Amino acid sequence: MLRYIIKRILYLLFVFLIMSVLLFVIYNAVPGDPARIRAEKFKQKDPVQYQIAYEQARADLGLDKPLPLRYFSWMRQMLKGDFGYSTYYSRDVRELVVTPMKNTVMLNIGAMFLALLITIPLGISCSTRRGGVYDNLVRIFTVVGYSIPQFIIGLVFIFFFAVRLRIFPISGFGTPNFEGSFWEEVLDKLRYMALPLLVMTFSSLGGMTKYVRSAMIDALSMDFVRTARAKGLKEQVVVYVHAFRSALLPVITLIIGWFFSIFGGSLIIENMFALNGMGKVYINCLQNQDYQVVLALQMFYIIIGLAGNLVIDLSYMLADPRVRLG
């Protein structure tokens, strides 16, 4: 077990190194000059001051050095915890991402929790009533929910819950300049997060339910389930203890993969509801050629993805003792 983990970590470090080189070369080959963007404010005032600011910006960003030296300097700073400076937001990257990351994680964890709370019991109940009226109705719902794009669901929910019924606000993460106690502030934020949460949860129900249902149907058709029933075990024990544990293997991949994706931000939702999250920051930085932020976020997502793959493999063994990692 320990040997396997060490081998995987060494492999992940190698992949991380290769990806860092590729991404650094790609983003530095994109047309544009970040130093010119940083010195833009001096352009209309004084051409001499502009040229001085431009040369200083090139030196600060390391653009006056060869590409290999710039890569090693960038990687050394990254390993020290210095992720660079945002030319678009005029802030250090580490300070910039704190609030958007917190908002994104809160929103995505809430949506994931609600979706799992609904889809796992729903998928199990459908698998135990396979071919019945209840199962067919849920399957129709899953196909429709899986087929409709997320932004369409968002527009429908905005129309009904924000425009017609006026239950939830349309945009933002809280009332501007809100004054009140801690719990009043929490309730205010929950009220603003409710509509995006509903959209994200509803849009994920179809695919998640279908996935859990398929995994449970495969598990219920296995020999050990028939043996458990032949022994006279209660149906609840057979389904929720024996079959569900076997069905966890494919579901674990989905759940953990989804969990590690919560840091990436929801591009459609955050832009639709004007939320200050990682998706919005990422898009703004891409559009404004703020590649210091983009590179830092890309490397963070690579680490999250690689760690997620390791956790998924280890979770297989915990879910099913038959799995042996070599």
Residues 75 and 205 in one domain: no
% of the chain beyond a pLDDT of 70: 92
Residues 61 and 171 in one domain: no
Q: What is the mean pLDDT of residues 61-68?
A: 80
Q: What whole-number distance in Å separates Cα of residue 122 and Cα of residue 159?
A: 27
Number of structural domains, the chain?
2
pLDDT over 70 (residue 260): no
Q: Which residues form the domain of 31?
A: 25-82
Q: What whole-number distance in Å separates Cα of residue 139 and Cα of residue 133?
A: 10
Residues 48 and 104 in one domain: no
User: One-letter amino acid identity for 108?
Assistant: N
Residues 118 and 217 in one domain: yes
Q: What whole-number distance in Å separates Cα of residue 39 and Cα of residue 246?
A: 59
Give the tens place of pLDDT for each residue, 66-96.
Answer: 888 888 888 888 888 888 888 788 888 888 8
Q: Which of 48, 82, 116 is the last residue of a domain?
A: 82
Let me know: does 96 contact 89? Beta carbons within 8 Å.
Answer: yes
Averaged confidence pLDDT in the chain: 82
CA 303 to centroid of chain Cα atoms: 13
Least confident of 144-148, 189-193, 219-223: 144-148
43: left (phi over 0), alpha (psi -120 to 50) or beta: alpha
pLDDT of residue 159: 92
The residue with tokens 């003792």 is: 321
In a domain? residue 2: no
Residues 71 and 179 in one domain: no
Higher-confidence position of 140 and 49:
140
- CA-to-CA separations, 284 to 161, 226, 317, in angstroms, rounded: 28, 56, 41
Give the tens place of pLDDT for each residue, 282-323.
Answer: 888 888 878 888 888 888 888 888 887 787 777 766 666 665
User: Residues with Cβ < 8 Å from 77, sequence gap 6 or more?
Assistant: 83, 84
Q: What confidence category does residue 105 fall into, taking pLDDT thresholds of 50, 70 and 90?
A: confident
Residues 288 and 177 in one domain: yes
Give the tens place of pLDDT for each residue, 3-42.
Answer: 777 888 888 889 999 999 998 888 888 777 777 777 776 6
In a domain? residue 15: no
Kindly report the three-state secondary structure assignment for every residue of the chain.
CHHHHHHHHHHHHHHHHHHHHHHHHHHHHCCCCHHHHHCHHHCCCCHHHHHHHHHHHHHHHCCCCCHHHHHHHHHHHHHCCCCCEECCCCEEHHHHCHHHHHHHHHHHHHHHHHHHHHHHHHHHHHHHCCCCHHHHHHHHHHHHHHHCCHHHHHHHHHHHHHHHCCCCCCCCCCCCCCCCCHHHHHHHHHHHHHHHHHHHHHHHHHHHHHHHHHHHHHHHCCHHHHHHHHCCCCHHHHHHHHHHHHHHHHHHHHHHHHHHHHHHCCHHHHHHCCCCCHHHHHHHHHHCCCHHHHHHHHHHHHHHHHHHHHHHHHHHHHHCCCCCCC
In a domain? residue 136: yes
- CA-to-CA separations, 269 to 56, 73, 285, in angstroms, rounded: 39, 36, 17
Residues 174 and 285 in one domain: yes
In a domain? residue 115: yes
CA quadruple 263, 269, 274, 275: dihedral positive or negative?
Answer: negative
User: One-letter amino acid identity for 235?
Assistant: E
Let me know: does 231 contact 211? Beta carbons within 8 Å.
Answer: no
